[in-house]
Amino acid sequence: MRLDWNTIDTCFLDMDGTLLDLYYDHKVWHVELPRRLASKDNLNKTEAKLRIELITEENKGTLSWYDLDFWKRALDIDIDEIEIALSHYISLRTGAIEFLLALKQKPLTLFLVTNAHPRGLDRKLEKTLIGNYFDHIISSHEIGLAKESLGFWKGFHRRYNFNKSRSILIDDNLNVLKTAKEFGIKHIYGVQRPNSKGEAYSSEDFFLIENYSSLL
């Protein structure tokens, strides 16, 4: 599904699961964090995962869910330490750099827009060097609301005053896509397989890209 890029002057790209392989985050949050919680509180794996899931259900889609300090307070575990220990798993999705290079050849303002906590964001930028391709890098923590919130997009728009009808968003989070559509972003695309070792997503509402070249 190729786009007419002449009708687009602003491009918003998510980071985790869109440009970066979500497998790293899976290892941090679904493998190592439950293991450490089980060890610390003398729980079995199922009990540890259930405790994390309960906190997740209460906070999913909010800024707290993405806040490393929130999780440290909730579980008394240093999430930064886990992320650093597993940082060798941080990797780009196939074709990400080629896509960014192609976008840099177009007359676009290019934004990296992520829910990642600023410390985690900095680690991933240092590891992958993708920050060099963007005109602006925005963590939703700067706005004070997660991208799943309509208020994020209103605050983001007040700050940068982009043309919604000439903007494109690519994000692996379907709830973010729904909110962005409600806000009025014209061109919206999801990602078919954010985690290279995970299952493929499906959606009746959005086109999910398998590889970036389909948009060029």
- The answer as to CATH 3.40.50.300 being correct for domain 5-20+93-215 is no
Mean pLDDT of the chain: 97
In whole angstroms, what is the distance from residue 93 CA to residue 209 CA? 12
pLDDT tens, 194-214?
Answer: 999 999 999 999 999 999 988
**Are 111 and 138 contacting, i.e. CB atoms less than 8 angstroms apart?**
yes
Rounded to 10°, the helix 45-59/68-75 angle is: 130
pLDDT tens, 102-136?
Answer: 999 999 999 999 999 999 999 999 999 999 999 99
Q: What's the whole-number mean pLDDT along residues 6-22?
A: 98
Angle at 38 between CA 33 and CA 42, to 5 degrees: 155
Query: How far is CA 172 from each of CA 77, 78, 191, 197, rounded to the nearest angstrom?
Result: 27, 26, 5, 15
**pTM summary value:** 0.96
In this predicted structure, what is the pLDDT of residue 1? 65
Is a pLDDT exceeding 90 seen at residue 14?
A: yes
Q: What percent of the chain has pLDDT over 90?
A: 97
Domain boundaries, the chain: 5-20+93-215, 24-88
In this predicted structure, what is the pLDDT of residue 213? 86
Q: What's the whole-number mean pLDDT along residues 55-84?
A: 97
In whole angstroms, what is the distance from residue 39 CA to residue 128 CA? 32
